[in-house]
Structure 1
């Protein structure tokens, strides 16, 4: 873990993300790239008109001043923070910054109030999750842990999840966190027998690990929805974070399909980290 990007929009939620990044960076001596997206139109940025050029310079200096004031916080004094202002128009371009900087993780706050599926919809967070090729940690609340201890990795143990698992395993080893692998069995047409699940998991572990040493460590629960099963299990073990895989074409966690009742969704207070398939 060398670099963490934190998109900053000066909101309370982006401060949650910045504080969390500082805590996560401590154990790894990682650099934090505090990124502000100066959303200016092409007409302003490329204009040869002197008035438009003056306007662009004014907005840039105003953003830098506000940015510096935002970063003047006691908990950042000993952190390795690099401010970066980019003239981008859309948050999907955060992935370009992540690639240019060689970032390992993006941490950002979400203004959403709903659950794991809907947390990524209709916001700048969703745009980042959809396009990001590096893991994205999404926070809805202040991150109160100094470090991660227990992480739930929800998986269907399909072949396409192997690379995601390997990436998650490496990342959470950096954080010295314990990874709890979880499969949620569902009723009706998505139900699978014990033998079917055992075979799927065995095939997964042989591809991901080359052996079956962790077979006894896989957690199985039965519930009416995957999301409900994941949340209940996370609460049961006192997890600090939930990790899921996402499909880039939608940005939505692919394990969380279908409708989700509000009473369950409102309990999704844990941080969620996404890994793109």
Structure 2
């Protein structure tokens, strides 16, 4: 892991993500890219070549550049290679395109607790960034003074299509020397016996060089509640799951489960695209 992208709208929630990014960067010698998406009002965007809009646009960009430079000078970022970027684009398009074009290894976003991603990533942008990003996305829910992820839960149905994403997850877990808790959530609509689920998981992990791990099935009324409750019972530091891109999530994560987890979890959430 060499380059971390952190979108910021200059709120305290983005600052919490930057602080976590700083801890990771110092520990693993990474560069941090701070990116601010300058989403202009529609009427200004439509008249971007008009006589009165350009001075206002330049003023907004100048202010954003100044604010990023002030952030760069914060003591906790001392010694880290920081790149500042301001783009005129929507949040999702700007973040996703920059990540693809610049070999970003991890995106870190701040979140406004159970209310969802903060103003820079509201509405459909939350779903788009989390579900569609080719780059792993780490969502920070609260201020974390010591980002220590020694205990991780990875929730999955362990289907073959998740194998590539699972290897990326293992690389991340090994980077932090984390214990891995694998879990399959069984609901009334997706029930598997414990023996059947264990067989699927055992055959799945046989293809990987596994760190210390456990596997369990967990029964709950829905998948989201199952993951959250299991994570709380195991006192894990991080919740990890896979997303399925533009066609929504795979049959294990259907509907809006990814967005619900990001919004309702109190712990950090990490997603990998299948």
Give the TM-score range, shorter chain.
0.7 to 0.9
Normalised TM-score (structure 2): 0.83
User: In the alignment, is the contact (CA less than 8 A) between 1:38 and 1:89 conserved in 2?
Assistant: yes
Name the residue aligned to 1:109: 110
Rounded to whole Å, the distance in 1 between the matches of 2:173 and 2:89 is 31
Rounded to whole Å, the distance in 2 between the matches of 1:218 and 1:34 is 37
Change (3 A) 1:18 1:156: same
Normalised TM-score (structure 1): 0.82
Change (3 A) 1:29 1:270: same
User: In the alignment, is the contact (CA less than 8 A) between 1:164 and 1:275 conserved in 2?
Assistant: yes
Matched, 1:234 2:231: yes
Change (3 A) 1:70 1:112: same
Q: CA RMSD, aligned part only? A: 3.1
Rounded to whole Å, the distance in 2 between the matches of 1:147 and 1:58 is 40
User: How far does residue 270 in structure 1 lie from its aligned partner after superposition?
Assistant: 0.5
Name the residue aligned to 2:208: 209
Name the residue aligned to 1:97: 98
Rounded to whole Å, the distance in 2 between the matches of 1:259 and 1:59 is 35
Gap regions ≥5 residues in structure 1: none
User: In the alignment, is the contact (CA less than 8 A) between 1:247 and 1:254 conserved in 2?
Assistant: no
Rounded to whole Å, the distance in 1 between the matches of 2:232 and 2:201 is 23
Matched, 1:34 2:31: no
Rounded to whole Å, the distance in 1 between the matches of 2:17 and 2:251 is 24
Could you tell which deviates more after superposition, 67-76 or 13-22?
Answer: 67-76
Change (3 A) 1:34 1:258: closer
Name the residue aligned to 2:73: 72
User: How far does residue 123 in structure 1 lie from its aligned partner after superposition?
Assistant: 5.4
Change (3 A) 1:7 1:269: same
**1:136-155 equivalences in 2 (<5 Å):** 136-155=137-156
Name the residue aligned to 2:132: 131
Matched, 1:192 2:192: yes
Gap regions ≥5 residues in structure 2: none
User: How far does residue 251 in structure 1 lie from its aligned partner after superposition?
Assistant: 6.3
User: How far does residue 200 in structure 1 lie from its aligned partner after superposition?
Assistant: 1.8
Rounded to whole Å, the distance in 1 between the matches of 2:59 and 2:235 is 49
Name the residue aligned to 2:2: 2
Change (3 A) 1:56 1:79: same
User: How far does residue 272 in structure 1 lie from its aligned partner after superposition?
Assistant: 0.5
User: How far does residue 227 in structure 1 lie from its aligned partner after superposition?
Assistant: 2.4
User: How far does residue 44 in structure 1 lie from its aligned partner after superposition?
Assistant: 5.4
